[in-house]
Amino acid sequence: MNAGKGYAFDRQTDRQTDRQTDRNIYLDIVKYVAIFLVIWGHVVQQSLDPGVVPVRADEIYRFIYSFHMPLFMGISGYFFGKSVHKIKGPLLYVKRKLHRRILGLVIPMISFGLLKCLTDIAWGLDIIPITIVKEVIGIWFLGMVLINTLIVLGMAIFCNGTFKHDCKYFMIGIIFTVISKLEYGSFNGFFMYVFFVSGYCIATYLNVSQIQKARFFWKIALISFIFAYFIYNNLPWPLGHIEFNLHSLPLAHIVTVASLKFILGFLGSYLTLIGIYFLLPYIQRLSVFREASQAGRYTLDIYLIQILLVERICGPWYRQMVDKIGFNYILQNGVLFEIAATFLIALIFLHVIIWISKLLNRSSICSKILFYRDSPVVARGKIDV
């Protein structure tokens, strides 16, 4: 009898391990898709003239940016919530892991901020001390992940594990998003905080079966997204960062755009997650499945390297070439050509960046200095962006 019970327990443990592995692979693929959308959006942005506002000028950019950063921030909050839960609460997390998380975000910001300065010098720009600070802070996503981490930890200390009780503290935390306003000059941190907290709450308060029930609402979500995006795309006001012009814009403008940004962010993130969930059974035997599940562990590396390669090297080079020949080959051949060209270029960039990441991670020194990783082997879940 005891042997039978032991065998049954072993099988149950194996099934739990398999389910956990499947969830990890699924989330790695989600991160792979999310980081590809980041690169694709930046490729589109770098093909535009420097003076234009991308969200106003380009339909592809406007669509991608309606949900891809909320998705990425939500994933970051989810992994952070799992990490806090695994270590048995926020207080123990503060004592045991917070310093490593801070260093894991700040050191890459400093390293790549300095590398950004080197690219500025290579392009003939003057560098002063304040420029270095601006370039470091300019890696805004990691900065906001750090700010949101500290806010959520501070609020979670007062929580008791019940969402109805805890949600009011996370709402109070919105007040502290003014920190991102001071650092980055906008209220974008308010939006990113909401999505970070949403991911954290999903990881903390929902079990797997509750999360899986959400897949049944994809039709309603799809119709709602299309409707909301149609309104967003046809507003009578110029789109852009409304937070920079709060004092000069009418209240109806601010409320409408902010509401649509939240709706599109949540629905777009949900539809991306559900789409990947339904697609997985059909791609498990394809090479793209193995590639995505492996590369999804390198999202921190990919995000940072693409800043240099796409935004600081290839983007300025392409703009200089356009100025010389007087023809923007990507934009002046129609929307369908732009979609195909930018998608293909982004895919090439993604593969090149993954190769560069693997090359850098062969060196423990580079791995430590650039990504604050203890060894060349990528540790799953250490710093997920």
Q: What angle do CA 66, 71, 74 make, to 5 degrees?
A: 135
Largest separation between any pair of C-alpha atoms in the chain: 82
Angstrom distance (rounded) from CA 190 to CA 181: 9
Helix and strand tally (H, E) in the chain? 19, 0
Task: Name which of 273, 214, 203, 239 is nearest 59 in CA terms.
Answer: 239
Task: Answer positive or negative: Cα dihedral of 294, 295, 297, 298.
Answer: positive
Whether residue 129 is predicted with pLDDT greater than 70 in this model: the reply is yes
- The total number of residues shown for the chain amounts to 385
Place of tokens 């693409």: 306
Mean pLDDT value across the chain: 86
Angstrom distance (rounded) from CA 149 to CA 200: 10
Give the tokens for residue 53.
């506002």
Task: Name which of 242, 36, 72 is nearest 145 in CA terms.
Answer: 72
Task: Look up residue 124 and give its amino acid.
Answer: G
Residue 76: what pLDDT? 94
Angstrom distance (rounded) from CA 324 to CA 48: 15
Averaged pLDDT for residues 274-281: 91
Residue 181: what pLDDT? 66
Averaged pLDDT for residues 59-65: 92
Least confident of 13-17, 19-23, 77-81, 209-213: 13-17
Angstrom distance (rounded) from CA 306 to CA 299: 10
Angstrom distance (rounded) from CA 63 to CA 46: 16
State the SS3 of 234-261.
CCCCCCCCHHHHCCCCCHHHHHHHHHHH
Top pLDDT among 52 and 187 is at 52
Q: What share of the chain is helix, strand, coil (3-state, %, to 5)?
A: 80, 0, 20
| Residue 131: exposure state from Cβ atoms within 10 A (0-12, 13-18, ≥19) | middle
Burial 8-19 (b: 16+ CB within 10 A, else e): eeeeeeeeeeee
Averaged pLDDT for residues 163-191: 82
**pTM for the full model?**
0.88
- Residue-wise DSSP of 64-85: HTTTHHHHHHHHHHHHHHHHHH
Residue 180: what pLDDT? 73
Whether residue 19 is predicted with pLDDT greater than 90 in this model: the reply is no
Phi then psi for residue 191, to 5 deg, are -65, -45
Residue 252: what pLDDT? 79
pLDDT confidence tier of residue 101, bands split at 50, 70 and 90: very high
Residue 11: what pLDDT? 47
